[in-house]
Amino acid sequence: MRRLLVAGNWKMNGSVSMTDDLLSRLLDADVSACDVAVFPSFPYLSSARKQLNGSAMLLGAQNCAEEESGAYTGEVSATMLQDIGCHLCLVGHSERRTLYGEDNDTVLNKVQRLLNAGISPVVCIGETLSDRQSGQENAVVTRQLQQLLSELSEEQWQHITLAYEPVWAIGTGETATPDQAQGMHAFIRSLLHQVSEETAQKTRILYGGSVRAANAVELFAQPDIDGGLVGGASLDAAEFLEICCS
Ligand code: PGA
């Protein structure tokens, strides 16, 4: 049985006081029904780590460098994230792919860096609107996953979470219907059989793209949807908590 994970991707939002306030509200609530993770921006990770100490809430970063260390001004390595106590890191978010040119090779390199550092990657995949309109969604997602499926071992897959985020649903208010999302999640799970039966059964696949309190119950009720990667709605404590209890 896969346990639900609800992950809040704060993107480039927040401040010291906002991080403090949002986390205090989340920590005051009982969210033991599922796993909960927050992904603040780099400058707030250390203070978030201190605030979360002693709680079960997981801490994640939104990005990491492809390289191990050295002369890469402005980059943050997987080892540094491990050093400050991160458990998770997003990789291949569609905003990174479209705005910063991350391709599937970059994603594989980052995933390997993270795994070597003992951090669990949350790998984002998903098709654009034109991919879907031309019936290419399965082909696109297959391409995005192919190297990970062939290069990583079954043991490494135990530490990976996938997030299916149709690009047309991110930040648009337009959500995939539960049927559309379930169809794609089942397809992704079928691809995981290439690694092993157990990997297909155990890997969590989150849905992302305009998840709200109003649609989370129905989405999370689908058999192959194991929680959500929540952007905009994760900045509102009350709404995020309602999603966590869905
Ligand atoms: P959204 O973002 O919930 O605001 O659509 C999701 C994401 O980008 O992870």
Residue nearest to atom 9 of ligand 1 (CA): 231
Residue nearest to atom 3 of ligand 1 (CA): 231
Say which amino acid occupies 147: Q
- 223-246 pLDDT, tens digit per residue, is 999 999 999 999 999 999 999 998
Task: Output the pTM of the full model.
Answer: 0.97
Cα 153 to averaged position of ligand 1 atoms, centre (Å): 29
Are 165 and 121 contacting, i.e. CB atoms less than 8 angstroms apart? Answer: no
Instruction: Using a pLDDT cut of 90, give the percent of the chain over it.
Output: 96
Residue 59 is inside which H or E element, if any? strand 58-61
| Average pLDDT score over residue span 11-32 | 96
Say which amino acid occupies 246: S
Q: How many residues does the chain have?
A: 246
Cα 175 to averaged position of ligand 1 atoms, centre (Å): 10
Of the candidates 103, 129, 120, 132, the residue with the CA atom closest to the CA atom of residue 35 = 120
- 59-97 pLDDT, tens digit per residue, is 999 999 999 999 999 999 999 999 999 999 999 999 999
Token output for 64: 């990491």
| Average pLDDT score over residue span 155-159 | 98
Place of tokens 């998770």: 88
**Active-site annotation, residues:** 93, 165
